Chain A
Amino acid sequence: MSLNKLTIADARDALKKGDVTAVELTESCLSEIEGAGALNAYVHKTPEIALEQAKAADARIKSGDAPAMCGIPLGIKDLFATKGVATQAASNILDGFKPEYESTVTQNLWDAGAVMLGKLSMDEFAMGSSNETACYGPAVNPWKIDDRKLTPGGSSGGSAAAVAADLCLAATGTDTGGSIRQPAAFTGIVGIKPTYGRVSRWGVVAFASSLDQAGPMTKSVRDAAIMLGTMCSHDPKDSTSADIPVPDFEAALTGDIRGKKIGIPKEYRIEGMPAEIQKLWDEGIAMMKDAGAEIVDISLPHTKYALPAYYVVAPAEASSNLARYDGVRYGHRAKLAAGEGIVDMYEKTRAEGFGPEVQRRVMIGTYVLSAGFYDAYYNRARKVRALIKRDFEQVFAQGIDSILTPATPSAAFGLGEMDGADPVEMYMQDVFTVTVNLAGLPGVSVPCGLGSKGLPLGLQLIGRPWEEGDLLNHAHVLEQAAGFAAKPEKWW
């Protein structure tokens, strides 16, 4: 088997035994990346940094001091600030930006000896569900069933495509409304969004600060457990970072969920749900039952209002966060005509630098925060958000351990197929995932089968706050029972 196809767990064990070196692993990924231009996943490649880090990792492994992630080649979403390496959030407004600092998450990974292969495409400022808002053009799903090119999902579409196509062993993603879990489901990989506050947001380009969390996108649940452990830390540079110990998530994967209570929320049986999604969900329920869990019908009554609440709160926070892109301190600045002043500079810079979806969300956010509308929209949305969170608290108080739902309302769709659609239609992609961000809970997407057309589909498990270990154990059981092992046939 080619080394780039290894899981983190297998690579870790092979590195430890001396069967393989980090340089060999890295070279294998780099050569695979060179041949995968058609997927448009990597947008800034860093082979020199990768080989240098790999050599250092090999030396560290030899010395016997090697954490699990040591020597593991990773792709990094373009949203993470990486020192001296282009960091653009897939936006023209950050054209040429090379941070003078490193995000806490990537620093944690490098400190553990991981290797950076390059930066991965995404929707601009993580706003999108198809990777089509990227200034680099869309990343392409390695899964293909006809002559159409399919979306890898979004916003972490480049990360999903790279992991599914074995252009890295794993990748970082971020999730504000489903941006890790939806692309993971579209490409047949695992992705977890941890509890809000588990992972530092410092150095991650901000979209909606009360919803954003980073997490790993991997080939297996075990890999997600290993990599998440390295990404998490308490960070004084992020005031919402939780000062609680990070448990050994991998040790939680016992495979035993006997007697655990798994909730099935009736509100997630949405109108018009495709038969293949319903079937997958029913199969997942049966698998958890077979594993000894107790299946409990539950109600999360405010589910229906999660999307509209999200599309008030997220744009409101985005309009504030994105105010910093003014052409003064970094990135693009528009050329000014004679006599134009500073307001012209702001307005032209932002019109040229932001793509249409980002402009739309910044303006919606500006509107809902403006005088006279703040109470009607923003405050009301925050109250509904409190009710959505309370729905979850009530079912957890009833003794529910995790909640099983579909990850997405469909399989991957074709690039360009939603071009003429109302923006709200694309927002529906987040229908099953967005509640989790609003409530700050951990959620994981697990590949569970192929749909009627041969494309991967995923189920989502939602856990109690701070119980990522238990949640991953549930996901591990589901993964083992589903036995999803399909890989996309190489066409690129």
Chain B
Amino acid sequence: MSIDIDTARKVAHLARIRVPEDHLPELAQELSSILTFMEQLNEVDVEGVEPMTSVTPMRLKRRVDEVTDGGYPEKILKNAPDAREGFFAVPKVVE
């Protein structure tokens, strides 16, 4: 499977990474070469094999549904590039 420039542009947008138009051919070529490498997987007979979902078979722990953490907005906001009045600030989202 080779990736064309339009697919590379689409993937970059899905990943929310801006890629300048003149870098797209190189990106498409790099992604194609990695995907070609992955294509070896098509040689494997996976008929009837369940996809692995957990590394070690274990049942997830349960606990009582109660608040165990929180109540420190100043810590949460401390590393924000732009925080105001107890909130994260971002460019306008809704007109």
Contact = CB atoms under 8 A, between A and B. Distances in A.
A284 B7 CA distance: 48
Contacts of A367: 3, 7, 11, 31, 35
B10 to A, nearest CB: 8
Contact of A364 (B34, B50, B82): B34
Nearest to A368: B38
Nearest to B81: A333
Contact of B75 (A100, A210, A243, A342): A100
Interface in B16-48: 16-19, 27, 30-31, 33-35, 37-44, 46
B37 to A, nearest CB: 5
Nearest to A336: B91
Contact of A319 (B15, B49, B50, B88): B15
B79 A331 contact: yes
Contacts of A309: 41
Contact of A195 (B17, B37, B44, B56): B56
Chain A contact-residue range equals 35 or more
A341 B15 contact: no
Nearest to B34: A364
Interface in A409-445: 422-424, 427, 439-440
A424 B34 contact: yes
B15 A332 contact: no
Contacts of A202: none
A386 B91 contact: no
A477 to B, nearest CB: 27
Contacts of B44: 302, 305, 380, 383-384, 387
Given A367-B3, A385-B52, A243 B37 contact: no
B80 A329 contact: yes
B79 A386 contact: no
Contacts of A308: 37-41
A211 B13 CA distance: 27
Contacts of B82: 333
Contact of A210 (B13, B55, B81): B55
A258 interface: no
B41 A380 contact: yes
Contacts of B84: none
B64 interface: no
A331 B52 CA distance: 34
Given A302-B44, A367-B31, A383-B50, A340 B81 contact: no
A304 B27 CA distance: 27
Contacts of A242: 56, 58
13 contacts: A195-B56, A197-B55, A305-B40, A312-B38, A326-B16, A327-B81, A329-B88, A330-B79, A344-B91, A347-B17, A366-B15, A367-B11, A387-B46
Interface of B: 3, 7-8, 11-19, 27, 30-31, 33-35, 37-44, 46, 49-56, 58, 60-61, 63, 72, 75-76, 78-82, 88, 90-93
Interface of A: 96-100, 195-197, 210-211, 236, 239-240, 242-243, 302, 304-305, 307-309, 311-312, 319, 323, 326-333, 336, 340-348, 350-351, 354, 359-360, 362-368, 370, 377, 379-387, 389, 422-424, 427, 439-440, 465
